[in-house]
Amino acid sequence: MDSLPHWLLDLLDSCPVAGSGVNKWLFTTGRQLHAHMDERSMFALLKEKTKACGRPVSDREIEHQIKASCRSAWCPSRPDLFPHANGLKNEIHPIPSTPAWPEPDLDLIRKTVSLRFGLSELCRQSPVKFNAADSSHTETVIDAIWPGNPLLCCGLNAYTFATRRRELWRGNLSRYSFIVPNPMLRVNGLTKDNKLSEHSLDATAARVYLVVSLISVNSLPTASPKQSGSR
């Protein structure tokens, strides 16, 4: 680390948050590291720098980007001055940049928000009214939206979760901050890394509910560029 240039140290400290290009950052940063260190050291360094990005970054993802970036690694004009630059070829093979979400259509958002259908109106139209002073209504809500005894995936936080039958959760659901808004097909499924997990798309049934957020029109940018996507 002491031998790395300041700009590269800054790059290492600039891992984006989840959803903003962590995968691309791994590739871009990896391209610059090959001349300075071996792949084992790169792996340990990149793993450490992605810990706070907001999502688990698998070993396989890091290893893949190290291998991919090697094909277009930065090659110095004096490779003899760099410990691992011999044999590197400076051929650019950029990875495609695909955003996790489409760009927001600000015009459409403003039109929607201008309808003034806010939280108070949502509560007013709800067929069921709860008194805020009453005890938790978690179990009543879950029984209403998931009748029967389906498999539900619930979590204490984004990384501590389990999939169990609804009746096994009974009496404890108010302790959990997260729930997958769809029933699960089975307890375990395969993740994108081909690992068994109780929280995977592979084991998630077809969409039943869509979770949305209410936003304030005052929080939107003033500019209204013509953009194709919407959130």
pLDDT tens, residue by residue, 106-151: 888 888 778 777 777 777 887 777 776 667 788 988 998 889 899 9
Angle at 84 between CA 50 and CA 72, to 5 degrees: 65
Find which of 89-103, 130-144, 153-167, 206-220 is predicted with most confidence, using mean pLDDT: 153-167
230 or 58, which is more confident: 58
Mean pLDDT is lowest, of 8-12, 124-128, 153-157, 195-199, for: 124-128
pLDDT-based confidence at residue 214 (cuts at 50, 70, 90)? low
Confidence at residue 213, expressed as pLDDT on a 0 to 100 scale: 65
Quickly state the pLDDT bin for 91 (edges 50, 70, 90): low
- Token code pair at residue 120: 């108070």
Strand partners, 161: 155
151 bridge partner residues: 165, 184
User: Mean pLDDT over residues 207-226, rounded?
Assistant: 57
In this predicted model, what pLDDT tens digit does every residue of 48-78 receive, in sequence order?
Answer: 999 988 888 888 889 989 988 887 888 777 7
Q: What is the pLDDT of residue 35?
A: 86
User: What is residue 132's predicted lDDT score, i.e. its pLDDT?
Assistant: 67
Residues contacting residue 104 through CB under 8 Å, at least 6 positions apart:
227, 229, 230, 231
Looking at residue 90, what is its pLDDT?
56
Query: Is the per-residue pLDDT at 225 higher than 50?
Result: no
Residue pair 145/209 in contact by the 8 Å Cβ criterion: yes
Return the higher-pLDDT residue of 182 and 134: 182
Q: What is the pLDDT of residues 1-48, one digit of tens each?
A: 677 889 999 999 999 988 788 888 999 999 889 888 888 999 999 999
Give yes or no for residue 104 having a pLDDT over 70.
yes
Q: Are 18 and 54 in contact (CB under 8 A)?
A: yes
Q: What is the pLDDT of residue 151?
A: 94
Q: Quote the CA–CA distance of 105 and 220 in Å, as a whole number.
A: 11
Q: What is the pTM of this model?
A: 0.45
